Every structure is written in structure tokens, then in C-alpha cells.
Structure 1
């Protein structure tokens, strides 16, 4: 089963949109979804501060910002 990590932060509308999109994709593509708040880790904060939300699938960053359902679903097949 694939592991999808959503890098996010509190009070982020794009992050909420990305989470809903990923939860929708889980209906057709089973995967484990893990949400990580970048403000809990200084390295992640420095790396992703201007990019969030960031979607990582099995260790590969596949999309960020305004995430695309088509782009992400291609990586879940």
C-alpha cells in the first residue's frame, strides 16, 4: 500500500482542499494518508514554508500549492 504524506500547516485553506482531494482519491486508490504539520519540525518549515501544501507519495514529492487531482491520481496507479 502506498504512503501519502500531506505536509500542511494550521489555518491553510489550500491544505484543507488538498486533504479533501486526497480523501476523495482514497475511495478509488487505497493508500495510507499521513498529515504532517511543518511547524512541528524546523527542517520541514524551512524546506516547505512557501510551498505548502505538499503531497509526497512513497518518498517522492508529486505536487504542491494548488494540487491537481489528475496529477496526483497518476502517481497512485
Structure 2
């Protein structure tokens, strides 16, 4: 897995058509951080998510991969994983500007 681009998407869940999110306002978007306890990359990702979502008024949530067998099976090698409106946005590192663009497009 090393060296793979954050754009790599391994199956992942999609809950809606990715093109449909462009008509949503900031309050209608949802960012999900999939993380595990004690993960420094997860802590770094949370800082970026809190900043971007706070600036834009976008709600966000976090899910503990150790408490959800399906999330664990799907994302264990990629955490932290960030979903935007249920679709995988990135993993390992969160780029502030890329997340901001995804939420304002």
C-alpha cells in the first residue's frame, strides 16, 4: 500500500451519486472521520476536519474503527479515512485545501 495516492479507492461505500452533492449547501453535507484510538494520523486528520468544517459550517462525525466490524474490514489498512457525504474522499493524510474544495464545489 505504501506510495499509493490518496485518490486510490478500494471498493468503499457510496451512499449516493457523487455528482449530486454539488447541489447541497454546507449544512446538508456530512464529513465522517473513520479513526482508531491512539492514532496520531487520526488526530492530525481531526484537526484539519475541525478547522475546515468549522469555517464552512459543515457538520462532521467520527467513527471508531475498533467498534464497527464492517468499517474495520473495509478500511483497516487506510485509517484515518475521510468520507464526504458517504463517499471516500481520502485516507492517511487530509489536505485542507482539497477538503475545502470538495465541500464547496
Q: Same fold (TM over 0.5)?
A: yes
Larger radius of gyration: 2
| Alignment-derived partner of residue 88 in structure 2 | 61
The structure in which a higher percent of residues are helix is: 2
Say which is worse superposed, 10-19 or 26-35, in terms of deviation.
26-35
In the alignment, structure 1 segments of 5+ residues that lack a partner are none
Normalised to the residue count of structure 1, the TM-score between the two structures is 0.93
Runs of 4 or more above 4 Å deviation: none
SS in 2 for 1:6: strand
Normalised to the residue count of structure 2, the TM-score between the two structures is 0.70
How many residue pairs align between the two structures? Answer: 77
In the alignment, structure 2 segments of 5+ residues that lack a partner are 1-26
Q: CA-atom RMSD, angstroms?
A: 0.9
